[in-house]
Structures are given as structure tokens and as C-alpha cells.
């Protein structure tokens, strides 16, 4: 077995299952799960229909690079969404379909990291656990950027010592952030690009929540957009990761893409030909339909806005919270230890949330997830409202 495997911590949901072990919640209250970020809105019919129409593609091996039509559809979407010059992105050299961003975010580090050079992988804290696992299994050391309320839940790049940037080979960004929903301003993205240029590292920008935003007139900026704004039209050192899981309520489709620096993606393509994660042809056709339609995405945002309004309206006088600019999580501070809060809430109200400390690491004398919980507003509206009522009652009666 690889010697790096023992460095991995248990996944947050394994910790959560162990935390709930032996607890019998009230039988008269149905369980409401707000712990996992699995979209529950209906997958649009246009995606389902395209998938069914092209089931005959199951008789063929897909190519690693994917259909030209899919890469072209992605290039058109990126240009429209992020204000890039039409035709700037080369679908042949700068776009690769992937089997969901989770798979790609992990495998990208395995391809990129030179473990002989004492590498660091820099990432936000709290974070999507794949970043840490990818770094460790690639033979790198994680370096955490604590994202706290005092800094609007954004990383402070200027607080990072120069010796860290010198060892950095890969910087993971997550915007909008998981779990806070914080959106990285274009200026902050540009700062990350300046650092990457100065210290010669690659940026992997996880933007899988980018289409779930509150203000229809202010969509979150992305890494490619920031690069384009400063004249980096080759997207040097930039790789953006996008997915249909959250945007189009299709987590089971396992469809996403990476786009950016052609030289990096040329080597990543070579890696992927051995990695063996080619997207099935029916999935590719369903993805073409999804990237070409925005109506279902706007409706998706409307449904989340409705849930945020209802839940925040109910919880607003019981706990300090604010509506995040993007994503579908509430990131709230708890009056007691986050794991104890989670245990007691489940025991008394049969509602499951995720302790914030399970999403973060102790770093610099601080665990930025401690005494927080993540609440995923993915259940139907009536379940989210019922859960909010129970959480409010729990907070008032403790």
C-alpha cells in the first residue's frame, strides 16, 4: 500500500455517522438530512431526454478528449458566462470533459505534483476534503489558509510567508466557497494570478457552485475571467473546474470539465488517457444539452432563494446568520461545541447537520470550522422549513 494512505483522515460523513452512533431520535419526527450537499431538485427533462436518446452510445468506447461538439458547447458557455472574447478558448487544446469535479480535482494533483521537490499544496480552510486527500496522496504537504468571518471568509494571500509560496506547486481555490458561500472578488483572483506568475505555481479553481448565486445581476467572477481581464489570454497557470452536479441538479450524471492553460491540459490529457475516466457518450450528449440551456439554471436559483428566505426568516431571531451571496449552505456559529450541537440536535429533533470542525484542520492555533455547522438547504422547501422550526425550538429550549 502507498505509504501516504495512512495520512488521510476519515471522510466527514464517516465521522458524522460515528458521532450519531447509538442515538435514537424521536420516532414521531421524520428524519431531515441537511448534512450532505447533494442537490435534490429535479434533473431537467432536457438532460434526461438527451441521455435516453443517445443510449445506443453505450456500445462504443468514449474517447478521453470527448466529443468535439461537447467541447465546443463548453467553450461557448464559458465565453458567454465569463465575458471572454468569442473564439478565444480553443476547444481542442484548452477544454477537457471530466467525470465530475471531484474526480478531476483529485487526479489533477496526482498529475501535477513533483514529489521530489518538497512540494506544498495551498488550500482554504475549511475546505472540500478532496483537496487535502489529493495533496497527501500526491506526496505533497497541505498548507492551509484560514478563512474566517473577520476576513469575509476569504483567504488572505498577503499573510502567507514567502517561503510557503516558493514551495507551492498548486493552489486550490474554491469560489463560491464551501461551506461559507463567500465569493472571491475579481481583484482577489487577480492577486492569486500575480502570485502564481511570481512563484511559478498552478491555480486550480473549483467553481462548481458558480451558478448558484443570489443576485441575478451579479454572477460570481471566475479565474478565467480574471486572467482575461489582465491580458492573460492564454490562461497561463490557470485551470478552472466546473460541474453540472449543482448547476443542473445532475449529481448522478458525473459530468464536468476543466479549462485553461493548454500546456497544462496537454499533459493532464496524457495522464487521463492512462487514468481511464472517459465520459460515456450518452452522458456527453446530455451534457451538451445542459450547457446549452440557462432557463433551468435560473429556475434552480429561484428555488434556492425561496428556501434561504424561508429558513433565514424563521431562524433570524434565534441565531446570528446572514444570507450567503452564493451556494446552498448556511454556515452558522453554534452556542456550544459544534459536534455536541450536532449530536443533541439529532437526538432531540431528528435533524442532521454537519459539524464545521469536520471540514477544517487546526492550523496556526485555530480551527476555523470549530463551533460552526454547515446546513445544506437541498431538501424540499417544506422539509427545510420544518427543519428550521425544529432548530429554532432546539436553540430556544436548550
Q: What would the pLDDT profile of 1-12 be if each residue is shown by its tens digit?
A: 888 999 999 999
Predicted model pTM:
0.96
pLDDT tens digits along 291-340:
999 999 999 999 999 999 999 999 988 788 889 999 999 999 999 999 99
Residue 398 confidence (pLDDT) above 80? no
Beta strands in the chain (DSSP E): 32-33, 95-98, 120-125, 141-146, 168-174, 202-206, 238-243, 256-260, 329-333, 351-352, 354-355, 372-376
> Average pLDDT, stretch 161-179?
98
Question: What's 78's DSSP letter?
Answer: H
What confidence score (pLDDT) does residue 354 get?
A: 98
Strand 141-146 relative to strand 95-98, pairing = unpaired
Return the number of other C-beta atoms located less than 10 Å from residue 396's C-beta: 9
Residue 260: what are its φ and ψ, rounded to 5°? 150, -135
Give me the helices (H) in 292-337, please. Answer: 295-315
Peptide bond between residue 9 and the one before it cis (omega within 30 degrees of 0): no
Q: What is the pLDDT of residues 351-393, one digit of tens each?
A: 999 999 999 999 999 999 999 999 999 999 999 999 999 999 9
- Judged against a pLDDT cut of 80, whether residue 115 lies above it is answered with yes
When pLDDT is averaged across residues 99-115 and rounded to a whole number, the result is: 97
Percent of the chain residues past pLDDT 90, beyond the cut:
96
Which domains are delineated in the chain? Answer: 5-42+296-397 (3.90.1150.10), 45-293 (3.40.640.10)
Task: Look at 1-5, 76-80, 174-178, 271-275 and tell me which has the smallest mean pLDDT.
Answer: 1-5
Edge-to-edge strands of the sheet including 120-125? 95-98, 256-260, 238-243, 202-206, 168-174, 120-125, 141-146
Average pLDDT, the chain: 96
The C-alpha atoms of residue 106 and residue 178 are separated, in whole angstroms, by 16
Mean pLDDT of 211-218: 97
Residue 244 pLDDT grade (very low, low, confident, very high; cuts 50, 70, 90): very high
Determine the pLDDT at residue 350. Answer: 98
Please compute the mean of the pLDDT values over residues 124-151 and round it to a whole number: 97
What does the alpha-carbon distance between residue 350 and residue 341 come to, in Å, rounded to a whole number? 12
Query: Exposed, middle or buried by CB within 10 Å (0-12, 13-18, 19+), for 218?
Result: exposed
Amino acid at each position: 500500500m502507498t505509504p501516504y494512505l495512512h495520512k488521510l483522515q476519515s471522510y466527514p460523513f464517516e465521522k458524522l455517522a460515528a458521532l450519531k452512533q447509538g442515538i435514537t431520535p424521536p420516532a414521531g419526527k421524520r428524519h431531515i438530512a441537511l448534512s450532505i450537499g447533494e442537490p435534490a431538485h429535479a434533473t431537467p427533462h432536457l438532460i434526461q431526454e438527451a441521455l435516453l436518446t443517445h443510449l445506443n452510445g453505450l456500445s462504443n468506447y468514449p474517447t478521453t478528449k470527448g466529443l468535439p461538439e461537447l467541447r465546443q458547447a463548453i467553450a461557448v458557455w464559458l465565453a458567454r458566462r465569463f465575458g471572454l472574447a468569442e473564439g478565444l478558448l480553443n476547444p481542442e487544446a484548452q477544454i477537457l470533459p471530466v467525470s465530475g469535479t471531484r474526480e478531476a480535482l483529485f487526479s489533477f494533483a496526482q498529475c501535477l505534483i513533483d514529489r521530489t521537490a518538497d512540494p506544498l499544496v495551498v488550500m482554504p480552510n475549511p475546505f472540500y476534503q478532496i483537496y487535502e486527500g489529493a495533496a497527501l496522496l500526491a506526496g505533497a504537504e497541505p498548507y492551509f489558509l484560514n478563512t474566517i468571518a473577520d476576513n469575509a471568509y476569504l483567504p488572505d494571500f498577503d499573510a502567507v510567508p514567502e517561503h510557503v509560496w516558493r514551495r507551492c506547486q498548486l493552489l486550490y481555490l474554491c469560489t463560491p466557497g464551501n461551506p461559507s458561500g463567500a465569493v472571491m472578488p475579481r481583484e482577489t483572483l487577480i492577486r492569486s494570478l500575480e502570485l502564481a506568475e511570481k512563484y511559478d505555481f498552478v491555480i486550480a479553481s473549483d467553481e462548481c457552485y458558480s451558478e448558484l448565486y443570489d443576485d441575478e445581476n451579479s454572477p460570481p467572477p471566475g479565474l478565467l475571467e480574471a486572467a482575461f481581464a489582465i491580458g492573460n489570454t492564454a490562461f497561463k497557470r490557470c485551470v478552472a473546474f466546473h460541474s453540472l452536479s449543482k448547476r443542473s441538479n445532475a449529481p448522478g450524471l458525473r459530468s464536468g470539465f476543466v479549462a485553461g492553460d493548454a500546456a497544462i491540459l496537454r499533459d493532464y490529457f496524457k495522464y487521463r488517457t492512462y487514468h481511464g475516466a472517459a465520459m460515456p457518450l450518452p452522458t456527453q450528449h446530455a451534457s451538451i444539452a445542459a450547457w446549452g440551456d440557462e432557463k433551468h439554471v435560473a429556475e434552480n436559483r429561484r428555488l434556492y432563494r425561496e428556501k434561504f428566505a424561508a429558513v433565514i426568516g424563521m431562524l433570524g431571531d434565534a441565531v446570528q446568520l446572514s444570507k450567503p451571496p452564493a451556494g446552498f449552505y448556511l454556515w452558522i456559529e453554534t452556542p456550544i461545541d459544534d459536534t455536541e450541537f450536532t449530536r443533541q440536535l439529532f437526538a432531540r429533533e431528528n435533524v442532521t447537520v454537519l459539524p464545521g470542525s469536520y471540514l477544517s484542520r487546526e492550523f496556526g492555533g485555530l480551527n476555523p470550522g470549530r463551533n460552526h455547522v454547515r446546513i445544506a438547504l437541498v431538501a424540499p422547501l417544506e422539509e427545510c422549513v420544518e427543519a428550521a422550526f425544529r432548530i429554532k425550538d432546539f436553540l430556544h429550549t436548550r
